[in-house]
Amino acid sequence: MAAIAAFESTPCTDLAHQTFLARIGEIFALSLDPQETLTRIADAAVEWIADFVEIDLLEDGTLRRFKLAHADPADAEITRDLEDLPRDRKPDVAHVALATKQTQVLEVVTEANLLDITDDELRPRAMAMRPKSIMWVPLIAHDEVIGVMVFVSRRPGRHYDASHVKAAEEVARRAAVALDNARLYKVASDAVEARDEILGVVAHDLRNPLATIQMAAEMVLEQRGEPAVCVENAMQIILRSSDRANRLIEDLLELRRVQLGQLSVRPEIVEPERLIRELLTSQSLLLATARLELRCELPASLPALWADRDRVTQVFENLFANALKFTPGGGTITFGARADGDEVLFRVSDTGPGMPQEEVARLFERFWQSHDADRRGLGLGLAIAKQVVEAHGGRIWADSQLGRGTTFSFTVPVARGNRR
């Protein structure tokens, strides 16, 4: 076996190394992006301390190659050849550095050494590099090993000693800190994004019940002197819409669950006829205002659902809102439902412009909107609908043709006593 030493580093006094470390310090101040930072580090290392540098990071316990760099442009082919070689091979010296948390140094490399430390795939590539000295330096952040840097010298007069180890370990330490800072920055950024997304979800879904409340209230004012039953119907619409608005506000308080994609549902037995009647009553005001015709294709009866009434209403409202948004005045929105085994299949169709298949594939992505769409809303409604439907154990999909409109379909499970 090759004589590989675990070095105890000593203070680095070499002026070139001090200059190199100063350069590394400047690099870390330039960016929080790990890819950019480590690329700059590797490029700087091959200018000062190595002819080849490899940076490998641990992902789920496996070393993955992150960056390769070379000093001599003539060595580009060797680097490309190494990039094509999978990093996840049998344990090697890099794994020893990871396990021991100590730098491993092969001060003088011989052909016999290379035979010992390489496998059949790596060996010809290593021979082409003609290494004279190699260091494997672990990347450690908060006492946790997160990767390894490999420094290769091919210059006959440069064999790695304690001073080189000191410089390399300082680079590795700073690189590990940079990676950890980037991770923390991403966590913070994700938290801010999740907060903004939740605010967008609530704002988007509050718009529908609030619009209904406003229209129903205007109808009450216009119906002064009309029979009490007309006013009572309008007030019932206002109350139902207010309840749904309150439920959406409660979602904001469920911040953690929504962040984890675990929007809660509280299923119960739901009579679909009543659910549909309430839905169509509330949507009729919006449809009339938009000068759209509503058509219903419903059977005489449907089996009871096992569903969260408010959440399913939320899905309906999002699909109707989408249809309203894209259907021009004078168009038609069709609402249909039918029993389908242990599920009820609902659909909402419009006579809007439709869309190409490549856009249909992206409809349920958060924040995505068609290039041809007006920009009302944040592109969250369909993503919300998908999350709610899947939380029920159902499915949701869309079919669309340019110039023919779009149909959204989704399923909701029937109550157990109604299953076939």
Count CB-CB contacts under 10 A for residue 234: 22
3-state SS, residue 100: helix
Would 192-260 and 268-413 be classified into the same CATH topology?
Answer: no
Count CB-CB contacts under 10 A for residue 269: 14
Say if residues 66 and 58 touch (Cβ distance below 8 Å).
no
Residue that wins the pLDDT comparison between 22 and 177: 177
Top-confidence range, 117-131, 188-202, 207-221, 386-400: 386-400
Reported pTM = 0.48
Q: Please state which architecture CATH assigns to domain 14-186.
A: 2-Layer Sandwich (3.30)
Say if residues 140 and 99 touch (Cβ distance below 8 Å).
no
378 falls in which pLDDT band (50, 70, 90)?
very low
Find the Cα–Cα–Cα–Cα dihedral 129, 131, 134, 136, rounded to 10°: 20
pLDDT tens sequence across 293-306: 999 999 999 999 99
Rounded CA-CA distance 246/243 in Å is 5
Write down the pLDDT at residue 294.
92
Q: Out of 1.10.287.130, 3.40.120.10, 3.20.20.60, 3.90.950.10, which CATH number does the structure's domain 192-260 have?
A: 1.10.287.130
3-state SS, residue 408: strand
pLDDT tens sequence across 117-163: 777 777 888 888 888 999 999 999 888 898 999 999 988 888 898 88
Mean predicted confidence (pLDDT) in 393-419: 90
pLDDT reading at 311 higher than 50: yes
Write down the pLDDT at residue 215.
79
Q: What is the DSSP letter of 108?
A: S
276 falls in which pLDDT band (50, 70, 90)?
very high
Task: Give the pair of three-digit tokens for residue 346.
Answer: 């609902």
3-state SS, residue 155: coil
Mean predicted confidence (pLDDT) in 337-361: 92
DSSP state string for 311-365:
HHHHHHHHHHHHHHHHSPTT-EEEEEEEEETTEEEEEEEE-S----HHHHTTTTS
pLDDT reading at 348 higher than 70: yes
Determine which of 108-117, 247-256, 305-314, 387-396 has the lowest per-residue pLDDT on average: 247-256
Which residue type does 30 have? L
DSSP state string for 33-64:
-HHHHHHHHHHHHHHHT-SEEEEEEEETTEEE
Domain boundaries, the chain: 14-186, 192-260, 268-413
3-state SS, residue 132: coil
DSSP state string for 371-389:
TTS---S-S-HHHHHHHHH
First vs last C-alpha separation in the chain? 70
180 falls in which pLDDT band (50, 70, 90)?
confident
Write down the pLDDT at residue 255.
46
Write down the pLDDT at residue 113.
79
pLDDT tens sequence across 244-273: 676 566 555 544 555 566 677 899 999 999
Rounded CA-CA distance 236/244 in Å is 13
Rounded CA-CA distance 397/386 in Å is 9
Determine which of 200-204, 259-263, 336-340 has the lowest per-residue pLDDT on average: 259-263
- What percentage of the chain exceeds 70 in pLDDT? 79
Domain spanning 268-413: which CATH class is it, in words?
A: alpha beta
Task: Give the pair of three-digit tokens for residue 298.
Answer: 């419903």
Top-confidence range, 80-84, 229-233, 333-337: 333-337
Rounded CA-CA distance 236/274 in Å is 14
